[in-house]
Structure 1
Amino acid sequence: MRRWGTTLAALVLAGAGLAVTAVSATAAAAAPAASAATAAACATAWGSGDKADWDSDYRPLLNVRTGRHDCYDRMVFDIRGTSGGPIGYNVRYVDRLYQDGSGDYIPVSGGAIIEIRVAAPSYDPETGAVTYPGRSGQPLPGVNIDGYRTFKDTRFAGSFEGDTQIGLGVRARLPFRVFQVSDKLVVDVAHTWTTAR
Protein backbone atom coordinates (compact mmCIF):
# COMPACT_ATOMS: atom_id res chain seq x y z
CA MET A 1 0.00 0.00 0.00
CA ARG A 2 2.80 2.36 0.87
CA ARG A 3 4.43 1.69 -2.54
CA TRP A 4 1.13 2.57 -4.33
CA GLY A 5 0.84 5.85 -2.34
CA THR A 6 4.42 6.77 -3.22
CA THR A 7 3.79 6.01 -6.90
CA LEU A 8 0.57 8.07 -6.88
CA ALA A 9 2.33 11.05 -5.19
CA ALA A 10 5.13 10.84 -7.77
CA LEU A 11 2.60 10.89 -10.62
CA VAL A 12 0.77 13.90 -9.12
CA LEU A 13 4.03 15.83 -8.71
CA ALA A 14 5.12 14.92 -12.24
CA GLY A 15 1.75 16.11 -13.57
CA ALA A 16 2.13 19.38 -11.66
CA GLY A 17 5.61 19.75 -13.09
CA LEU A 18 4.28 19.26 -16.61
CA ALA A 19 1.57 21.85 -15.96
CA VAL A 20 4.16 24.36 -14.70
CA THR A 21 6.37 23.57 -17.68
CA ALA A 22 3.41 24.04 -20.03
CA VAL A 23 2.52 27.37 -18.40
CA SER A 24 6.18 28.49 -18.55
CA ALA A 25 6.39 27.51 -22.22
CA THR A 26 3.17 29.41 -22.95
CA ALA A 27 4.48 32.49 -21.12
CA ALA A 28 7.80 32.25 -22.97
CA ALA A 29 5.97 32.00 -26.31
CA ALA A 30 3.82 35.02 -25.38
CA ALA A 31 6.85 37.18 -24.46
CA PRO A 32 8.22 37.45 -28.05
CA ALA A 33 4.68 38.07 -29.31
CA ALA A 34 4.26 40.89 -26.78
CA SER A 35 7.66 42.33 -27.77
CA ALA A 36 6.69 42.18 -31.45
CA ALA A 37 3.37 43.87 -30.68
CA THR A 38 5.16 46.59 -28.72
CA ALA A 39 7.64 47.09 -31.56
CA ALA A 40 4.79 47.37 -34.07
CA ALA A 41 2.92 49.77 -31.82
CA CYS A 42 6.07 51.86 -31.46
CA ALA A 43 7.00 51.90 -35.13
CA THR A 44 8.83 55.20 -35.52
CA ALA A 45 10.22 55.11 -39.04
CA TRP A 46 10.02 58.91 -39.08
CA GLY A 47 13.71 59.59 -39.58
CA SER A 48 15.76 62.38 -38.06
CA GLY A 49 16.11 64.58 -41.12
CA ASP A 50 14.85 68.18 -41.38
CA LYS A 51 11.09 68.64 -41.65
CA ALA A 52 9.52 71.85 -42.91
CA ASP A 53 6.32 73.31 -44.29
CA TRP A 54 6.45 77.04 -44.99
CA ASP A 55 2.75 77.67 -45.68
CA SER A 56 1.29 79.62 -42.74
CA ASP A 57 -1.37 82.06 -41.59
CA TYR A 58 1.00 83.54 -38.92
CA ARG A 59 -1.43 83.51 -36.00
CA PRO A 60 -0.14 84.16 -32.44
CA LEU A 61 1.31 81.40 -30.27
CA LEU A 62 -0.77 80.95 -27.11
CA ASN A 63 0.86 78.06 -25.27
CA VAL A 64 3.44 75.27 -25.43
CA ARG A 65 2.85 72.04 -23.52
CA THR A 66 4.32 68.57 -23.38
CA GLY A 67 3.19 65.02 -22.70
CA ARG A 68 4.67 61.56 -22.20
CA HIS A 69 3.52 58.60 -24.29
CA ASP A 70 4.55 54.93 -24.47
CA CYS A 71 6.65 55.36 -27.61
CA TYR A 72 7.55 59.06 -27.70
CA ASP A 73 7.56 62.40 -25.87
CA ARG A 74 5.31 65.09 -27.35
CA MET A 75 5.44 68.90 -27.59
CA VAL A 76 2.28 70.75 -28.64
CA PHE A 77 2.06 74.37 -29.81
CA ASP A 78 -1.38 75.94 -29.37
CA ILE A 79 -2.00 78.66 -31.97
CA ARG A 80 -4.77 81.28 -31.82
CA GLY A 81 -7.62 81.16 -34.31
CA THR A 82 -6.11 79.14 -37.15
CA SER A 83 -9.44 77.33 -37.72
CA GLY A 84 -7.46 74.61 -39.43
CA GLY A 85 -5.46 77.09 -41.52
CA PRO A 86 -1.82 76.16 -42.16
CA ILE A 87 0.82 76.47 -39.42
CA GLY A 88 4.29 76.77 -40.88
CA TYR A 89 7.30 75.12 -39.27
CA ASN A 90 10.94 74.16 -39.66
CA VAL A 91 12.20 71.44 -37.30
CA ARG A 92 15.75 70.09 -37.42
CA TYR A 93 18.69 68.86 -35.41
CA VAL A 94 21.41 71.44 -34.80
CA ASP A 95 24.81 71.32 -33.12
CA ARG A 96 24.12 74.52 -31.16
CA LEU A 97 21.15 76.88 -30.80
CA TYR A 98 21.66 80.47 -31.95
CA GLN A 99 18.94 83.07 -31.50
CA ASP A 100 17.46 84.49 -34.69
CA GLY A 101 18.20 88.15 -35.20
CA SER A 102 20.92 88.57 -32.55
CA GLY A 103 22.86 85.39 -33.26
CA ASP A 104 23.34 84.90 -29.50
CA TYR A 105 24.24 81.37 -28.41
CA ILE A 106 21.63 79.72 -26.14
CA PRO A 107 22.87 76.63 -24.26
CA VAL A 108 20.53 73.62 -24.40
CA SER A 109 21.20 70.46 -22.35
CA GLY A 110 20.89 66.92 -23.71
CA GLY A 111 22.65 64.52 -26.03
CA ALA A 112 21.19 66.29 -29.09
CA ILE A 113 19.34 69.55 -29.82
CA ILE A 114 16.25 70.02 -31.95
CA GLU A 115 15.58 73.55 -33.16
CA ILE A 116 11.87 74.18 -33.65
CA ARG A 117 10.66 77.22 -35.58
CA VAL A 118 6.91 77.73 -35.61
CA ALA A 119 5.36 80.38 -37.87
CA ALA A 120 3.43 81.83 -34.93
CA PRO A 121 4.84 84.84 -33.06
CA SER A 122 4.67 85.03 -29.26
CA TYR A 123 2.82 88.33 -29.64
CA ASP A 124 -0.26 89.61 -31.44
CA PRO A 125 0.98 91.13 -34.73
CA GLU A 126 -1.89 93.64 -34.72
CA THR A 127 -1.49 95.00 -31.20
CA GLY A 128 2.01 93.91 -30.15
CA ALA A 129 0.56 92.42 -26.94
CA VAL A 130 2.40 89.38 -25.61
CA THR A 131 0.45 86.14 -26.15
CA TYR A 132 3.11 83.68 -24.90
CA PRO A 133 5.32 84.75 -21.97
CA GLY A 134 8.57 83.00 -22.94
CA ARG A 135 11.85 84.66 -21.93
CA SER A 136 14.91 84.38 -24.12
CA GLY A 137 17.34 81.69 -22.98
CA GLN A 138 14.99 80.42 -20.26
CA PRO A 139 13.06 77.12 -19.97
CA LEU A 140 9.55 77.20 -21.41
CA PRO A 141 7.11 78.62 -18.86
CA GLY A 142 4.79 76.06 -17.28
CA VAL A 143 6.57 73.11 -18.92
CA ASN A 144 7.99 70.46 -16.57
CA ILE A 145 9.82 67.61 -18.31
CA ASP A 146 11.14 65.87 -15.17
CA GLY A 147 10.87 62.12 -15.64
CA TYR A 148 10.54 62.28 -19.43
CA ARG A 149 12.35 59.52 -21.27
CA THR A 150 13.45 61.55 -24.31
CA PHE A 151 13.03 65.28 -23.49
CA LYS A 152 15.88 66.69 -21.38
CA ASP A 153 15.66 70.50 -21.73
CA THR A 154 13.55 73.27 -23.26
CA ARG A 155 14.68 76.81 -24.10
CA PHE A 156 12.77 79.75 -25.49
CA ALA A 157 14.90 81.57 -28.06
CA GLY A 158 12.39 84.31 -28.95
CA SER A 159 10.17 85.47 -31.78
CA PHE A 160 11.67 87.12 -34.85
CA GLU A 161 9.94 88.13 -38.09
CA GLY A 162 6.81 86.16 -37.25
CA ASP A 163 8.52 82.92 -36.18
CA THR A 164 8.94 81.59 -32.64
CA GLN A 165 12.15 79.68 -32.04
CA ILE A 166 12.49 76.92 -29.41
CA GLY A 167 15.43 74.72 -28.44
CA LEU A 168 14.51 71.19 -27.37
CA GLY A 169 17.22 69.12 -25.71
CA VAL A 170 16.74 65.38 -26.19
CA ARG A 171 18.55 62.27 -24.93
CA ALA A 172 20.09 61.42 -28.34
CA ARG A 173 19.52 61.99 -32.04
CA LEU A 174 16.22 60.12 -32.36
CA PRO A 175 13.48 60.02 -35.01
CA PHE A 176 10.81 62.70 -34.88
CA ARG A 177 7.66 63.70 -36.70
CA VAL A 178 5.74 66.98 -37.08
CA PHE A 179 2.06 67.36 -37.92
CA GLN A 180 -0.86 69.74 -37.50
CA VAL A 181 -4.17 68.96 -35.80
CA SER A 182 -6.64 71.85 -36.13
CA ASP A 183 -5.04 74.84 -34.34
CA LYS A 184 -2.14 72.83 -32.89
CA LEU A 185 1.29 71.92 -34.19
CA VAL A 186 2.63 68.65 -32.75
CA VAL A 187 6.25 67.49 -32.49
CA ASP A 188 6.80 63.88 -31.37
CA VAL A 189 10.30 62.58 -30.58
CA ALA A 190 10.60 58.78 -30.33
CA HIS A 191 12.15 56.95 -27.40
CA THR A 192 14.04 54.55 -29.71
CA TRP A 193 14.87 53.82 -33.33
CA THR A 194 12.15 51.16 -33.71
CA THR A 195 11.46 50.62 -37.40
CA ALA A 196 9.06 47.66 -37.42
CA ARG A 197 5.76 48.32 -39.15
Structure 2
Amino acid sequence: MRKATVVWLAAATLLLTSCGGTTGPESPDGTDAADTAPDSSPTVTVTQTTTVPADGTPDGSGNGADASSCEVTEDWTLLPDVKPGSSGDPIREVRTGRHDCFDRVVFDIHGTDEVGFDVQYQPEVRQPGSGRPMPVAGDAALRVIVRSSAQGAPGSGSEEPLAAMGEHFVPESELADWGALRSVRYAGWFEGQVTFALGVREELPFRAFTWLNEDRGVREVVVDIAHDPN
Protein backbone atom coordinates (compact mmCIF):
# COMPACT_ATOMS: atom_id res chain seq x y z
CA MET A 1 0.00 0.00 0.00
CA ARG A 2 1.53 3.31 -0.92
CA LYS A 3 1.70 6.49 1.00
CA ALA A 4 1.34 9.17 -1.63
CA THR A 5 0.92 12.87 -1.22
CA VAL A 6 -0.32 15.04 -4.06
CA VAL A 7 0.78 18.63 -3.66
CA TRP A 8 -1.52 21.42 -4.90
CA LEU A 9 -0.70 25.13 -5.22
CA ALA A 10 -2.72 27.14 -2.71
CA ALA A 11 -4.60 30.39 -3.26
CA ALA A 12 -2.95 33.72 -3.89
CA THR A 13 -2.38 34.39 -0.20
CA LEU A 14 -0.35 31.21 0.05
CA LEU A 15 1.84 32.04 -2.94
CA LEU A 16 3.99 34.10 -0.61
CA THR A 17 5.26 30.84 0.91
CA SER A 18 5.26 28.50 -2.06
CA CYS A 19 6.80 29.09 -5.51
CA GLY A 20 10.47 28.04 -5.76
CA GLY A 21 20.31 20.91 -7.30
CA THR A 22 22.74 19.91 -5.32
CA THR A 23 21.59 20.83 -1.85
CA GLY A 24 18.60 22.94 -1.03
CA PRO A 25 16.81 25.42 -3.29
CA GLU A 26 13.08 25.97 -2.74
CA SER A 27 10.58 24.13 -0.59
CA PRO A 28 9.66 20.59 -1.50
CA ASP A 29 6.45 21.27 0.40
CA GLY A 30 5.51 24.90 -0.14
CA THR A 31 2.03 24.00 -1.41
CA ASP A 32 -1.09 22.16 -0.33
CA ALA A 33 -0.57 18.41 -0.06
CA ALA A 34 -3.17 15.69 -0.59
CA ASP A 35 -2.75 12.23 0.96
CA THR A 36 -4.39 9.60 -1.21
CA ALA A 37 -5.36 6.19 0.11
CA PRO A 38 -4.24 3.33 -2.15
CA ASP A 39 -7.63 1.91 -3.12
CA SER A 40 -9.66 2.44 -6.27
CA SER A 41 -11.73 5.16 -4.55
CA PRO A 42 -9.08 7.22 -2.79
CA THR A 43 -9.83 9.28 0.29
CA VAL A 44 -8.02 12.61 0.19
CA THR A 45 -6.90 14.64 3.19
CA VAL A 46 -5.55 18.12 2.45
CA THR A 47 -2.80 19.61 4.60
CA GLN A 48 -0.55 22.67 4.37
CA THR A 49 3.23 22.49 4.80
CA THR A 50 6.17 24.77 4.03
CA THR A 51 9.90 24.12 4.49
CA VAL A 52 12.51 24.98 1.85
CA PRO A 53 12.80 28.67 0.88
CA ALA A 54 10.78 29.80 -2.12
CA ASP A 55 13.43 31.96 -3.78
CA GLY A 56 15.77 29.21 -4.94
CA THR A 57 18.40 29.69 -2.24
CA PRO A 58 19.22 27.25 0.57
CA ASP A 59 18.78 29.84 3.32
CA GLY A 60 15.94 31.98 1.98
CA SER A 61 18.24 35.00 1.78
CA GLY A 62 16.70 36.21 -1.46
CA ASN A 63 19.93 35.88 -3.42
CA GLY A 64 18.42 33.42 -5.87
CA ALA A 65 16.46 34.15 -9.05
CA ASP A 66 12.90 35.35 -8.70
CA ALA A 67 10.85 32.20 -9.09
CA SER A 68 7.81 34.17 -10.26
CA SER A 69 9.74 35.31 -13.36
CA CYS A 70 10.86 31.74 -14.14
CA GLU A 71 14.49 32.89 -14.15
CA VAL A 72 15.04 30.16 -11.59
CA THR A 73 14.80 27.56 -14.38
CA GLU A 74 17.34 29.14 -16.74
CA ASP A 75 20.31 27.07 -15.55
CA TRP A 76 18.50 23.75 -15.38
CA THR A 77 19.62 20.89 -17.58
CA LEU A 78 18.62 18.14 -19.98
CA LEU A 79 21.78 16.20 -19.10
CA PRO A 80 22.08 13.49 -16.44
CA ASP A 81 22.37 14.81 -12.89
CA VAL A 82 24.21 12.37 -10.61
CA LYS A 83 25.04 12.83 -6.94
CA PRO A 84 27.23 10.24 -5.16
CA GLY A 85 26.34 8.67 -1.85
CA SER A 86 23.84 6.22 -0.42
CA SER A 87 21.64 5.79 2.63
CA GLY A 88 20.13 2.79 4.36
CA ASP A 89 17.13 4.86 5.45
CA PRO A 90 13.85 4.10 3.64
CA ILE A 91 11.76 6.24 1.33
CA ARG A 92 8.36 6.40 3.00
CA GLU A 93 6.49 8.98 0.97
CA VAL A 94 6.35 10.43 -2.56
CA ARG A 95 4.75 13.84 -3.10
CA THR A 96 4.07 16.06 -6.08
CA GLY A 97 3.71 19.83 -6.39
CA ARG A 98 2.56 22.26 -9.05
CA HIS A 99 4.28 25.64 -9.22
CA ASP A 100 4.10 28.63 -11.58
CA CYS A 101 7.21 27.70 -13.57
CA PHE A 102 7.80 24.04 -12.81
CA ASP A 103 6.36 20.82 -11.44
CA ARG A 104 7.95 19.05 -8.49
CA VAL A 105 8.33 15.51 -7.16
CA VAL A 106 9.64 14.97 -3.62
CA PHE A 107 10.89 11.67 -2.22
CA ASP A 108 10.85 11.66 1.60
CA ILE A 109 13.56 9.52 3.21
CA HIS A 110 13.00 8.98 6.93
CA GLY A 111 16.49 9.66 8.20
CA THR A 112 19.05 12.44 8.03
CA ASP A 113 21.95 10.75 6.23
CA GLU A 114 23.07 12.19 2.92
CA VAL A 115 21.80 10.24 -0.08
CA GLY A 116 22.83 9.91 -3.70
CA PHE A 117 20.68 10.04 -6.81
CA ASP A 118 20.81 9.61 -10.58
CA VAL A 119 18.27 11.58 -12.61
CA GLN A 120 18.28 11.43 -16.40
CA TYR A 121 16.10 11.15 -19.47
CA GLN A 122 15.92 7.66 -20.98
CA PRO A 123 14.22 6.25 -24.11
CA GLU A 124 12.22 4.23 -21.57
CA VAL A 125 12.50 3.45 -17.88
CA ARG A 126 12.98 -0.21 -16.96
CA GLN A 127 12.32 -2.05 -13.73
CA PRO A 128 15.56 -2.76 -11.88
CA GLY A 129 16.46 -6.43 -11.89
CA SER A 130 13.86 -7.67 -14.38
CA GLY A 131 14.51 -5.04 -17.05
CA ARG A 132 10.81 -4.87 -17.87
CA PRO A 133 9.76 -1.53 -19.42
CA MET A 134 7.77 0.92 -17.34
CA PRO A 135 5.69 3.00 -19.78
CA VAL A 136 4.65 6.52 -18.79
CA ALA A 137 2.41 9.22 -20.23
CA GLY A 138 4.02 12.11 -22.11
CA ASP A 139 6.66 12.22 -24.83
CA ALA A 140 9.65 11.86 -22.48
CA ALA A 141 10.62 9.48 -19.66
CA LEU A 142 12.70 10.79 -16.77
CA ARG A 143 14.32 8.05 -14.70
CA VAL A 144 14.94 8.85 -11.05
CA ILE A 145 17.17 6.54 -9.02
CA VAL A 146 17.45 7.27 -5.29
CA ARG A 147 20.27 5.40 -3.60
CA SER A 148 18.43 4.38 -0.46
CA SER A 149 16.11 1.73 0.87
CA ALA A 150 12.34 1.85 0.42
CA GLN A 151 9.52 1.23 2.82
CA GLY A 152 8.82 -2.50 2.77
CA ALA A 153 12.24 -3.43 1.35
CA PRO A 154 14.38 -5.93 3.31
CA GLY A 155 15.96 -4.21 6.30
CA SER A 156 13.74 -1.12 6.06
CA GLY A 157 12.02 -1.85 9.37
CA SER A 158 8.58 -1.86 7.81
CA GLU A 159 6.46 -4.61 6.29
CA GLU A 160 4.17 -2.26 4.39
CA PRO A 161 5.55 -1.60 0.88
CA LEU A 162 5.99 1.91 -0.46
CA ALA A 163 3.90 0.92 -3.49
CA ALA A 164 3.17 -2.01 -5.75
CA MET A 165 5.46 -2.54 -8.72
CA GLY A 166 4.37 -0.18 -11.50
CA GLU A 167 1.89 1.66 -9.29
CA HIS A 168 1.06 5.29 -10.05
CA PHE A 169 1.51 7.61 -7.09
CA VAL A 170 -0.85 10.08 -8.78
CA PRO A 171 -3.51 9.14 -11.37
CA GLU A 172 -2.31 10.26 -14.80
CA SER A 173 -5.68 11.91 -15.38
CA GLU A 174 -4.93 14.33 -12.54
CA LEU A 175 -1.61 15.34 -14.15
CA ALA A 176 -2.93 15.78 -17.69
CA ASP A 177 -3.14 19.59 -17.47
CA TRP A 178 0.06 20.14 -15.47
CA GLY A 179 2.81 22.15 -17.12
CA ALA A 180 5.38 19.33 -17.34
CA LEU A 181 4.64 16.24 -15.25
CA ARG A 182 2.47 13.47 -16.71
CA SER A 183 3.24 10.32 -14.64
CA VAL A 184 4.89 9.24 -11.38
CA ARG A 185 5.35 5.45 -11.24
CA TYR A 186 7.15 3.08 -8.90
CA ALA A 187 9.64 0.97 -10.86
CA GLY A 188 10.97 -0.90 -7.82
CA TRP A 189 13.76 -1.42 -5.29
CA PHE A 190 16.84 -3.46 -6.12
CA GLU A 191 20.29 -3.76 -4.55
CA GLY A 192 20.17 -0.64 -2.42
CA GLN A 193 18.48 1.77 -4.77
CA VAL A 194 14.93 2.75 -5.65
CA THR A 195 13.82 3.56 -9.20
CA PHE A 196 10.94 5.77 -10.29
CA ALA A 197 9.59 6.57 -13.75
CA LEU A 198 8.42 10.13 -14.36
CA GLY A 199 6.44 10.89 -17.49
CA VAL A 200 7.14 14.37 -18.86
CA ARG A 201 5.31 16.35 -21.55
CA GLU A 202 8.55 16.50 -23.56
CA GLU A 203 12.24 16.66 -22.69
CA LEU A 204 12.23 19.75 -20.49
CA PRO A 205 15.01 21.14 -18.28
CA PHE A 206 15.14 19.83 -14.72
CA ARG A 207 17.14 20.09 -11.53
CA ALA A 208 17.63 17.64 -8.66
CA PHE A 209 18.84 18.28 -5.14
CA THR A 210 18.58 17.05 -1.56
CA TRP A 211 17.22 18.98 1.38
CA LEU A 212 17.45 18.10 5.07
CA ASN A 213 14.21 18.82 6.91
CA GLU A 214 15.56 18.82 10.44
CA ASP A 215 12.17 19.39 12.08
CA ARG A 216 10.77 16.22 10.52
CA GLY A 217 14.01 14.22 10.60
CA VAL A 218 13.62 13.64 6.87
CA ARG A 219 16.05 13.86 3.97
CA GLU A 220 14.14 15.04 0.91
CA VAL A 221 15.23 14.30 -2.66
CA VAL A 222 13.62 16.88 -4.91
CA VAL A 223 13.21 16.81 -8.70
CA ASP A 224 11.87 19.96 -10.38
CA ILE A 225 10.86 19.97 -14.06
CA ALA A 226 10.49 23.28 -15.90
CA HIS A 227 7.29 23.99 -17.78
CA ASP A 228 9.14 25.43 -20.77
CA PRO A 229 12.47 24.87 -22.56
CA ASN A 230 15.27 27.28 -21.65
Length-normalised TM-score, structure 2 = 0.62
In structure 1, give the amino acid aligned to 2:117: Y
Tell me which residue corresponds to 1:184: 220
Partner deviation per Cα, 1:48-100 (whole Å, 9 max, x = no partner): 10011121223100100000111100000100112xx2111000000011111
Query: Aligned pair count?
Result: 157
Tell me which residue corresponds to 2:80: 50
In the aligned structure 2, how far is the partner of 1:129 from the partner of 1:75?
A: 23
Of the three residues 152, 163, 169, the one matched with 2:193 is 163
Structure 1 residue runs without a partner (length 5+): 1-36
- Inter-CA distance 185–93: structure 2 relative to 1 (3 Å threshold): same
Q: Does 1:126 align with 2:155?
A: yes
Residue 149 (structure 1) shift: 1.2
SS of alignment partner, residue 181 of structure 1? strand
Residue 164 (structure 1) shift: 0.9
In structure 2, give the amino acid aligned to 1:87: V
The structure 1 segments of at least 4 consecutive aligned residues displaced by more than 4 Å after TM superposition are 37-40, 141-144
Q: Check whether the contact 1:90–1:118 (CA below 8 A) recurs between aligned residues.
A: yes
Residue 121 (structure 1) shift: 2.0
In the aligned structure 2, how far is the partner of 1:178 from the partner of 1:136?
A: 24
Residue 141 (structure 1) shift: 6.0
In structure 1, give the amino acid aligned to 2:79: G
Matches within 5 A, 1:42-191: 42-82=72-112, 85-122=113-150, 123=152, 125-126=154-155, 129-130=158-159, 132-140=161-169, 145-182=175-212, 183-191=219-227
SS of alignment partner, residue 229 of structure 2? coil
Structure 2 residue runs without a partner (length 5+): 1-66, 213-218
Q: Which has the higher contact order (CA 8 A, sep 6+)?
A: 1
Residue 145 (structure 1) shift: 3.0
Residue 43 (structure 1) shift: 3.6
Which piece of structure 1 moves more, 160-169 or 118-127? 118-127
Q: Check whether the contact 2:78–2:121 (CA below 8 A) recurs between aligned residues.
A: yes
SS of alignment partner, residue 47 of structure 1? coil
SS of alignment partner, residue 222 of structure 2? strand
* Greater Rg over alpha carbons, structure: 1
Counting aligned pairs with the same residue, the percent is 35
Matches within 5 A, 1:22-41: 39=69, 41=71
In the aligned structure 1, how far is the partner of 2:189 from the partner of 2:131?
A: 13
Between structures 1 and 2, the one with greater helix share: 1
